[in-house]
Amino acid sequence: MPRYKVTMEYDGREFVGWQRQANGFSVQQAVEEAVDGFCGEKVVVHGAGRTDSGVHARGQVAHFDLSREADPNTVRDALNFHLKPAPAVVIDAAAVDEEFHARFSATARVYRYRITNRRAAPTIERGLTWWAPVPLDHEAMNEAARVLIGHHDFTTFRATACQAKSPVKTLDVLGVRRDGDDIFIDARARSFLHHQVRNMAGTLKLVGEGKWSAADVTEALKARDRSRGGPTAPACGLYLMRVLYGKSAKTT
């Protein structure tokens, strides 16, 4: 059966998250219904990252199988037609071979956490950023972020409900930079634990406020205890930016 890879953008404010839920409208459900609307097929759409309620995506990737071949541009446009008025769109669609799996073939996920650091609350970007009214030292945050880069047991930054088999992950990138009133935390890893980016962001904010030092972050990491980490940053600031694939992602 022909398999299609779709790259998606969505506004997390309008969904209960990626995954189908009994209690509300998910992006997965939106896409599955759009496929049904397009070709009358009931498919399961597999996403690369199970973004939580309120988390945004600029480059979520998903795949599904159709019984007949279709031009990828037609798939993209038809899904976008049927997704309306939900704030989710297919930016790109491609035919991929049947070995491709949006979740299991992914070699890296790139997340961005956005903080608006100014006295006045966000207006245009409300729901799209975490408001931090107290001045944050982004250089100290970036220094402390270096502590977390590498191969570690991230239990301290893992949601207690996380279902991953192991708390050990390799964090390839964790950088903090400022652009005007915005602070961006960029993170890249093959995969993340549940709430890992938000828990790291909440911890780095403590560093930015001068409440924690980089040494405190080291201690927290070593403790392997969620209660020793900083608070979970809110979903509104988190964006799934990109999902990267190796050879298995080649388009057919």
For a copy of itself, the binding residues (CB under 8 A) are: 9-11, 56, 58, 76-77, 80, 84, 87-91, 118-121, 123-124, 126, 128
Contact 216, 143 (CB under 8 A): no
Quick one: 86 or 106, whose CB is closer to a copy of itself?
86
Quick one: 55 or 148, whose CB is closer to a copy of itself?
55
Contact 20, 33 (CB under 8 A): no
Shortest distance, position 173 Cβ to a copy of itself, whole Å: 20
* Cα–Cα separations (whole angstroms), residue 238 to 37, 77, 114: 30, 27, 6
User: What are 247-251's contacts with CB under 8 Å, separation 24+?
Assistant: 248/99, 248/100, 248/101, 248/105, 249/5, 249/96, 249/100, 249/105, 250/96, 250/97, 250/100, 251/5, 251/94, 251/95, 251/96
Contact 228, 191 (CB under 8 A): no
Shortest distance, position 121 Cβ to a copy of itself, whole Å: 6
Quick one: 71 or 225, whose CB is closer to a copy of itself?
71
- Residue in the structure block whose two tokens are 């961006």: 184
- Distance between CA 71 and CA 142 in Å, rounded? 45
232 Cβ partners below 8 Å, 6+ apart? 159, 195, 198, 199, 202
**Which one of the listed residues 11, 36, 52, 137 is annotated catalytic?**
52
Quick one: 33 or 219, whose CB is closer to a copy of itself?
33
Shortest distance, position 88 Cβ to a copy of itself, whole Å: 6
Quick one: 58 or 224, whose CB is closer to a copy of itself?
58
Shortest distance, position 39 Cβ to a copy of itself, whole Å: 19
Told to judge if 216 belongs to the known catalytic residues of this protein, a careful annotator would answer: no
- Distance between CA 179 and CA 49 in Å, rounded? 27
Shortest distance, position 193 Cβ to a copy of itself, whole Å: 25
Enzyme catalytic residues: 52
